[in-house]
């Protein structure tokens, strides 16, 4: 799922730079699976649907594009998109958590209504969309697919999201709503320029049930050094359900990237996207890109590694995983 940038978003002044990134993501996804694209501008959506489906047909790709006209404040589908759940009966549900733009930092009303708009349009077929009265963004959670969630205290305990609930109540809600058995909390870690209050998908990711990769800063003079060293210690203290330690793999630390105002941007290799048979990896035009690709290739040896230049995305403080949301097979049928 992609929510396409349009002139009414913060991308308005750089659409010519950011749309090629979205097109690269769309073409890469179509090599492996179908794609749901929503866009507020109907004419642009129609041209996108036509262009991308012609591309898929020309190269005999397995994916097809489904275009849906829908209002949107921004493009961060990871956070306003539905979170898919497989029930104990083997059925799929799409959970529609409340979205308030990371604690009311930006406009959010259109994005909060987007999932219901898509459902009303028939985008999810017969899969039910279940509203959940709790503020939660998809980028704030990592799942190993086997009962364990990983998240950060800075995000989920932020008073601008669910101020009436403490940590134990939030953990109980996650377990009940998402069917989790355990929640692992990172108490440290951040990226300068990040608007999300330390989303887990910028810091640490499951690459297997027993393996976590994470952002590490080796430069003691860097402002991130202490927080990320403390986060590494948090990860070393984590245990699997059987009491064993996790395998840990550090990802490279990219050279600092700044915007035109001198603000540091949150470049991170942890923001990769797993699709069918491949992993899409954000790169930024810095010397560490190749090392990051090699390491992620070693973590997913059975998958093709596809580099996507995401430098334009981080100017708005997010990256590849942040602008996408996966949907299970059978939910969208082009």
Active site residues: 322
**CA 52 centroid distance within chain:** 22
How far is residue 76's CA from residue 23's CA, in Å, rounded to a whole number? 15
Cβ pair 271, 321 in contact under 8 A: yes
What is the side-by-side order of every strand in the sheet holding 2-3? 2-3, 35-39, 65-69
How far is residue 289's CA from residue 303's CA, in Å, rounded to a whole number? 18
3-state helix, strand, coil split of the chain in percent (to 5) is 35, 25, 45
Cβ pair 11, 5 in contact under 8 A: yes
DSSP annotation of 287 reads T
Cβ pair 4, 75 in contact under 8 A: yes
């Amino acid at each position: 799922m992609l929510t396409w940038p349009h002139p009414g978003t913060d991308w308005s002044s750089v659409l010519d730079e950011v749309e090629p990134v979205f097109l690269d993501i769309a073409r890469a996804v179509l090599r492996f699976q179908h794609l749901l694209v929503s866009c507020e501008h109907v004419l642009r959506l129609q041209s996108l649907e036509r262009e991308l489906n012609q591309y898929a047909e020309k190269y005999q790709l397995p994916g097809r594009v489904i275009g849906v006209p829908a209002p949107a404040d921004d493009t961060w589908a990871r956070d306003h998109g539905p979170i898919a759940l497989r029930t104990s009966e083997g059925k799929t549900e799409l959970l529609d958590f409340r979205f308030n733009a990371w604690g009311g930092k930006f406009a959010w009303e259109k994005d909060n209504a987007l999932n219901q708009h898509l459902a009303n349009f028939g985008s999810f077929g017969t899969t039910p969309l279940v509203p959940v009265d709790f503020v939660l963004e998809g980028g704030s959670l990592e799942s190993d697919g086997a009962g364990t969630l990983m998240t950060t205290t800075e995000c989920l305990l932020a008073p601008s999201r669910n101020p009436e609930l403490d940590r134990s109540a939030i953990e109980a809600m996650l377990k009940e709503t998402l069917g989790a058995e355990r929640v692992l909390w990172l108490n440290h870690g951040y990226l300068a320029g990040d608007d999300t209050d330390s989303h887990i998908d910028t810091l640490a990711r499951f690459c297997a049930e027993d393996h976590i990769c994470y952002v590490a800063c080796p430069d003691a003079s860097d402002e991130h050094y202490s927080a990320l060293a403390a986060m590494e210690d948090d990860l070393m203290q984590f245990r699997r359900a059987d009491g064993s330690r996790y395998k840990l793999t550090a990802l490279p630390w990219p050279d600092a990237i700044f915007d035109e105002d001198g603000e540091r941007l949150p470049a991170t290799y942890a923001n990769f996207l797993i699709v069918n048979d491949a992993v899409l990896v954000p790169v930024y035009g810095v010397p560490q890109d190749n090392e990051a690709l090699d390491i992620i290739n070693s973590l997913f040896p059975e998958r093709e590694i596809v580099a996507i230049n995401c430098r334009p995305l981080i100017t708005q403080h997010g990256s590849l995983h942040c602008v996408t949301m996966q949907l299970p097979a059978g939910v969208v049928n082009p």
